[in-house]
Each structure stands twice: as C-alpha cells, then as structure tokens.
Structure 1
Amino acid sequence: MDPVIVAGAGPVGLTLALALARRDVPVIVLDEAEAFADSDELRSPRTAVLGPDTVALVERLGYEGIRRDGASWSAWRTVRRRAEVLRVDFGPRDAPLHIAQHRLERGLREALLACGSVRIVAGVRVDAFEQDGPGVTVHTRGAHDTWWRGSFLVGCDGPRSTVRKLAGVRFPGRTAVDRHAVAVIRAELPEPGVALLHRDPPGAPAGQEVTGRPLPDGLWRLDWLLPPQGRLLTSDALVERLRSTLTAWCGSVVPYELVGSADYPVHQRLARRWRRGRVFLAGDAAHLMGALGAQSVEEGLRDAENLSWKLSLAWHDGASRILLNSYEAERRGAVGARLRATDQALPLLRANSAWQTVRHAVLSGSARGQAELLTDSHLGRGSVAASAVYGRSPLALPAPRSGGGKSGPSPLVAGCDTPPGGVVTDVPVTALDGTVGRLRDRLGRGLIVVLVAPGTGVWDSRHWLTAGLMPRLASAVAALPTRAELVVTETYPGATAHSVLLVRPDGRLVTAMVGCRPAELYSYADLARGGPPVPVGSDGEEPGADDGDEGGHGGGPGGAAGTRVSGHTR
C-alpha cells in the first residue's frame, strides 16, 4: 500500500508519524516550515503540560529524553489572597510534566528521523487532494509543486487547517473565551517544582488570576487572566504585573530575566467531522481548547495515539467501517465532553461573587467547591477527567453472546475498577518469557490480555506457565483474529483472581471477564478491531455520509475517478 500522508509537523503530526512508523507503516510528513530550528533557546512561551500516560506514550515511541527536557511537578497549589485553599501533591508516577513545545518537537523529530520508513518534506503546503477507492492523492505547492500518493491523509496542520477547509468541514465554536498575557522568566522562586494558581493576589483587582508553572533550567511560565475584549497589554503593563506578582509570592521583587512574552486569546472550537473517507483531522485542526488550563497539545497527542493503531491495522490487514469511524466517535466525543464541562464551569469560576464567601483561610462548602473545580480544570481531573472514558465507543460495546443469534452483555462479566473504554491502571506485569515490567510499557504493539493471578510473582514463570488457566488461555490468545500478547499480574484494582482483562493498543479497556472462555475472548477481540476488515480498496465510510448541515462532501469518497478538492485558503 501507499504511505500515510501527514500534513503538519507540529507535536501532533510528529507523534502520529512516529507511532505509525513504529508499526512499520511508511509515512510522508508535509511541513510548511522551510527548516527546523535546532536552537535550544525558548523563542516563544508555548509550552505543554502532559499527564503521565501521555509522557509514557512519547517515551515508548522513542523520545526517551522527554523527562530530562521537561519539568515534573511535585505539587500544585491553589491560593486565594494569602491563603492556600487547596494543595495536590504528586508522586513519581502521577506527576504532570511541563515542557517547552520546541523541545517536544525537537525530541519527536529526532526520534522520527531515526525511522527509515518516514520522509519529511519541508517548505510545502497542501492545496488540493483527490480520493478514490484505494487511496488519496495530495497536491502541494512550495518547494515541491507536485502530487503525492497515499493510502490516507491526516490533517494535523493547526487551527487554520487547509486540509479541514478543503474537506469542507465546518469549525464552529466560541471566540475569545479567555484571554491571557504570558511571560517566561528565569528566576529563583519559592518551592521549585510546585505549580501555583493565585486568585485575587494582594493589591490586585478582584477576579485577577495568575498561574506559575515551573520549567527546567530555572524557567517559569506565568499566565495572567485578562479581560476578553481588552486592549493588548503593553510591555510596561506586563512588567508591572510581573513585579506585582513576584512581590506577592516572594515578599519583594526577586532578580529575574524575561525570556519571552505573548498576549493571546483562547478559543473553543470543535470540527463537525473528523473524517471524510480517507481524510482525517487531528489536533488543533479538529479542536481548539485552552480555557481553564485545558491543554490542546495533550488532547492532540491522544488523537494521534487513538488514530495511529487504527490506521496501522487498516494499512497492514484492512479495516472495517466501524474501526475507522470509531476514531471520530471516541475522540470527538471525549473532546466535546471536555469542552462542555469547561463551558459549564466558566460562568461559575469567572464570577467574582463566587469567591466572596472566603474569609481568612476558612471556606464555605460552595467556595471550596469552586476552588476544587478550578484546580481540577487545570489538572484534568474531576468532571473534566470523565471525558477520558470512551463510554459510547463502538469498540467497547458488549460482545454478542454465543449461540441463539442474540446479542447483549455477557452474563459473566468480571468486576473491575476501570470501565470499558477507560484507561487501564499501570500495574506490574510479567510476560510469558519471564520479563517483568509495567503494563504501560507494553502498550502499542497489539491487544494485551492480562490475567490476574495472585501468587505468580513468587514463582518462576516456567512453573505457572503450565498451571491453572495458563495453557488454555495461551492457546486462546494465539487464536485471536489480531495480534495479541498475554501477560500476568498479581492484582488489578477491583478485579478478582482469575479475571481476564482485554486491553487495546492505546491502553483502553475492552472488557474484563472471569476465567478463560475462548469463544467469548475471540468475540471481544474481534469487537476491538471493529469486526472483520472490509475488502481492499474500500474506504470504510458510508457513501454519502454527512452531518446534515455542511453542504457537499468536500473530499469524500468518489467513484472510480475519485473526488477532487482544491482551492486557495486564507
């Protein structure tokens, strides 16, 4: 088959290309930039906060130095005036990592250049594409005024995505939901490694909000909430805010170096469709989210993780309509839920009156709830974290019962603290060859079947490989319709002994069962791949499918001659 074409070489495009390359899928990355800046200097205050699962994903893909290039936080503090109203301490396994975006891109690009199946084409811009049964043809202008042939096209080309516009996909939402002034400084501040959100600092107008997030090498990113429709902050006004903030935190203006600054609005937008035949959208091309600390970069990397294993399966073995459509169902649903949660929280958290019940360090239940909601929004917890579960995924529905032709949930589904479609807990596991590691480190290679078997940790693997459920379960795993690995764990939260968990390549739980029933395990594994693949040459999307209000298909599947989309975008 032809390579997968990725438009855009930001963090999302690079991660997607790297994830595909690690699965032996050839990739062409089309990058508008003429060259990549190798400088380690922080030229702009663009940064990303990544959770532990996302950091582990990037490490698995080959960027092993991400923890060195970023700063892991030891805690998060939420303060109002001079009183700490909430503190969250992090352990080594649950600490967020804060990294400058240029360092993230450099590390991903270096890992990508080590893959022989990837070609990065700089200085080109997509201006047209055509689709047909077996693939898509993309035209570029710039350094290469030519056509490129690919099996799929993924638009990772940012908020002004040309691919999205050429596909005729609307991008509705809200403009200037929030507005921030940002400064990156080098200074010695109290509690290095502790991020801080300060509401109503002493001497500041009511409702002012400033966050301080540590970076490596003594750098800090400071964000001030500004009136949405106000004038651009002047350099003098920025320095005044900076000095006032440092005084509130340190008691005086400590020595500092201003490295970079910016003034930017935050938009909330969600593309109507994330798939048009063989054309997909990911990252900022599909969604914009940044209010209340939501991180578009991390959500974009989750897009890449979700889409990469599905495109890989389609490229190697073929894919069903359900599998390819599940990308939009899962990721658009999760991002939409997070945007709705943010929209519901904004009126509460931006109203000054919500904080007026705070007196000294004593909070009413309502005010404490506001502080917790604000903290959860910045850390991706609580109601926002609920969007991390793909609750309506077509790949996580109950598998059909065997016999009788009826469908429905199995009567013997095991209890487990992780819901279907949720991210599995990173427990210690042992592979059949005796290798001991973490479940998170084995993701990305195919399905994982996890047997919960207390006591196996004290025995050599050669003893329990031939005992209990293992022989039958190993035989059942070998017969599954797609690649799978069997591992054993001593315990899993909420699961009883002899529970069997089926985990997707992106770490999402398909189901948990009791004991070994090969037919049921096969049924769930077939569900996880969306059913049998369609014949080669089909795009897997319902012909003529649309969302009802966007006009023409734009780059949807055409007949034998294909569908051509071209034009110039602003």
Structure 2
Amino acid sequence: MTASTLARRGLGVTVVERSGDTGRTGAALSVPEGLLERITGLRSEQLPRTLAPGVQSWFAVHTALHAAAAADLGIHFRENTRVVEVGQDTDAAWAVTAEGERIHADILVGADGHRSVTRRHVAPDKSDARYAGQVLWIGVAEESAIGSRGWPASVAFQHGAGYTLIGYPLPGADGSTAPGARRLGWALYDSSRDDVLRGSGALVGSVVQHTLTAPEIPEHTFEELARDARRAFSGTWRDAMVDSIRRRAVIGTPVAEYVPDRLVRGRVALVGDAAHVANPMTGRGFAESLLDAESLGAALSSNPGRGDRTRALLHYELDRLDAVREFVRSGR
C-alpha cells in the first residue's frame, strides 16, 4: 500500500521483502470501502472481486495489492531479501541485508511488522511490542467440507469454555460468494496457554517472537482445542473449527501491543504494524495502515524536494502519532 501510494506521487520505490511466499492460514482483514481505488488509482471496474469491501482473506488482499504494485514501473521488488539493520546519515538512509549488501535511498520506510527491525533504529529505547496475555488461534474452513446448514450472514461473536470466538464468513479463493464456494474464518482468543508459547519460543519474557505454525503446536493442544470447540460452540462455527483442527490448518498468533512515542527519526519512518500494534479485536489494523500510507504520501507530495524529505516525514508523524496512540489504547 505504501509503495503504491508513493509511486503514484512520482517517487521511485524499492520494496525489500523478506518472504517470497505469500501463503497465510486463516488470517483475515476488514477491507475499507474504496481501498484499491484510493491506493492505486484504478477504476472500480478494474478491481478484482477479492478487493470488495468487507472481510476478506489476507492472502486474497495481498495478492491483489501485490499485482497492482508489480504493474507499476515506479516500483522495484527485491523479494527473499532479509534486512538485518537500517541506518542513515545527513545524505541518505540505507538497509543492510543478511548478505551484507547496503541499499541506499533518500528515505527508508519500515513496514516490517510487529517485530520491526526498523523500529529498533527509530525508537531504540522502546523497540519491542509486548505480549498482551492472549494467543489467537486462527483457521479457515471450506463450505464444501462443512456444508451450508445455518450459513452465517455476518461476523459473529460468541463466548464459551473460557474462550472468545470471532467468526467471519469469507468469499471463496476466487472471490465468489456463491453457495458451495464460500469459506468460514474463525479466530479464538485464548488466555490459558502461555506455557505453549514459551515452550515453543514464540514468547520470550514479555516479547512476542513469532506466530506458531502447525508443526510447532503440541498434539495435546490440538486435541484440547477440538474438545473445547465441540463442548463450547455449536452449528457451523463448531464445524469450521473442528475441520480446521482436524486438518492441522491452524496457526497461533500471540496478541501483542505497541503504543508508539514516535514514528520518525530523520530519514526513517514507520508505518503499519511496525508503527503501532493493537489488539486484533479492534478490527481496524488494516484500515489504520492504509491511513498511514496515505498520510505519508500526502506529506511527501507537500514537500517534494529532496532536501525537504525529513521535514515531510515530521509532517507525517504530526498527522498520525496521536491518532495511532489512541487506536492502540482503544484495543485494551
């Protein structure tokens, strides 16, 4: 989103991306109205179905945004490239890769998530997002596997056996909402399994290290989750959870939180989860990241000269800092 926004304003952008694999199990996003039009300038008839407003899968949204950015000649991708350090001087900013290469630019924007390397440079005295006391078990089930009986029309919130469940109907992988082709996503808030997180290394002290993938989740945890799902929930949501657990198509994301004190240091800025991390219960993380991208683009458009880039980043921070601090606090 940030790359597309800046490229539309005439900046040449290099995207340095750690992963070349965009597959995600279960993660979903709430897509604001007009997302892709606002970011890329595409007309509504050019939009893929997977970018319709509402809840969509992370994979579908990422695929559509990646395709739009890849079609922009002002954006150059460097995938499968891990950044281990960032820095700057009076003339440039740079990213250092794991292979020791130094990539220079006028400014550097860290969109590198809640374990941001860039944040260590911008806010070295407050560089870590902190564990918020819950793990979020996430999965997706196909309608063809669980049936259409009692298919939900909207997002659902349920409570049982000490859990909070958020369920969300999703289009099919191709964006179809036709009966038989749809999916159900679910997210289960669980405050009882810190031991699983610590035993796997996903949580060290109060700092979240990574998301648990299926091979890292103990077999007894899968068995307990399936038992509790059958006991605490009913109907289609229960069937979706049991199906995902049976296939071991589940991830466990420790919920983290980060309230920023700053978003900018010189020629380096933070956006998205690198800048602010809120409880997913807010349902606004994706939309707030979109606002970051738009604000940054607007600030750089207002200060187009290369000598004004640091001033532009300060304008971005002034525009967004109070808003994102309040956003994170709202999730508590």
Shorter-chain TM-score: which interval?
Answer: 0.7 to 0.9
Give yes or no for the alignment of 1:120 onto 2:77: yes
CA drift of 1:318 comes to 6.0
CA drift of 1:274 comes to 0.9
Change (3 A) 1:189 1:303: farther
Q: TM-score, normalised by structure 2?
A: 0.75
Change (3 A) 1:173 1:116: closer
Tell me how far apart the structure 2 counterparts of residues 236 and 156 of structure 1 sit (CA, whole Å): 36
Indicate if the aligned counterparts of 1:25 and 1:312 stay in contact, CA closer than 8 A. no
- 1:267 is aligned to 256
Give yes or no for the alignment of 1:215 onto 2:170: yes
CA drift of 1:220 comes to 0.9
- 1:171 is aligned to 127
SS at 1:288's partner residue?
A: coil
CA drift of 1:216 comes to 0.8
- Comparing both chains, which one has the higher relative contact order based on Cα–Cα distances under 8 Å and sequence gaps of 6 or more? 2
CA drift of 1:245 comes to 6.0
Amino acid at match of 1:120: F
CA-to-aligned-CA distance 1:280-308 (integer Å, 9 cap, x gap): 01111111112424343332222111112
CA drift of 1:279 comes to 0.5
Q: 2:234 aligns with which of 219, 226, 247?
A: 247
CA-to-aligned-CA distance 1:334-389 (integer Å, 9 cap, x gap): 1111222332xxxxxxxxxxxxxxxxxxxxxxxxxxxxxxxxxxxxxxxxxxxxxx
SS at 2:112's partner residue?
A: coil
Give yes or no for the alignment of 1:339 onto 2:314: no
CA drift of 1:113 comes to 1.5
Amino acid at match of 1:176: A
Amino acid at match of 2:83: V
RMSD, aligned α-carbons: 3.2
User: Greater helix share, 1 or 2?
Assistant: 2
Segments of structure 2 that go 5 or more residues without pairing to the other structure are 173-181, 197-219
Change (3 A) 1:27 1:182: same
CA drift of 1:50 comes to 2.1
Amino acid at match of 1:309: A
Segments of structure 1 that go 5 or more residues without pairing to the other structure are 1-14, 73-95, 344-570
Tell me how far apart the structure 2 counterparts of residues 337 and 60 of structure 1 sit (CA, whole Å): 30
Tell me how far apart the structure 1 counterparts of residues 230 and 191 of structure 2 sit (CA, whole Å): 20
Indicate if the aligned counterparts of 1:186 and 1:256 stay in contact, CA closer than 8 A. no
Tell me how far apart the structure 2 counterparts of residues 130 and 325 of structure 1 sit (CA, whole Å): 18
- 1:416 is aligned to none
Tell me how far apart the structure 2 counterparts of residues 63 and 165 of structure 1 sit (CA, whole Å): 39
**Equivalent runs, 1:422-501 vs 2, <5 Å:** none
CA drift of 1:130 comes to 4.3
**Equivalent runs, 1:110-149 vs 2, <5 Å:** 110-142=67-99, 145-149=100-104
Amino acid at match of 1:153: L
CA-to-aligned-CA distance 1:150-172 (integer Å, 9 cap, x gap): 11101111122112213443136
For these two proteins, the number of residue pairs brought into alignment is: 292
Change (3 A) 1:128 1:254: closer
CA-to-aligned-CA distance 1:166-189 (integer Å, 9 cap, x gap): 344313664234332222112325
Larger-gyration structure (1/2): 1
**Equivalent runs, 1:146-295 vs 2, <5 Å:** 146-169=101-124, 170-171=126-127, 174-187=130-143, 188-199=148-159, 204-205=160-161, 208-217=163-172, 218-232=182-196, 234-244=221-231, 247-248=234-235, 257-258=243-244, 260-295=249-284
Change (3 A) 1:182 1:176: same
Q: TM-score, normalised by structure 1?
A: 0.46
Indicate if the aligned counterparts of 2:86 and 2:96 stay in contact, CA closer than 8 A. yes
Q: 2:292 aligns with which of 298, 303, 313?
A: 303
Q: Tell which deviates more after alignment, 288-297 or 100-109.
A: 288-297
Change (3 A) 1:112 1:172: closer
Tell me how far apart the structure 2 counterparts of residues 235 and 327 of structure 1 sit (CA, whole Å): 44
Tell me how far apart the structure 2 counterparts of residues 254 and 325 of structure 1 sit (CA, whole Å): 46
- 1:29 is aligned to 15
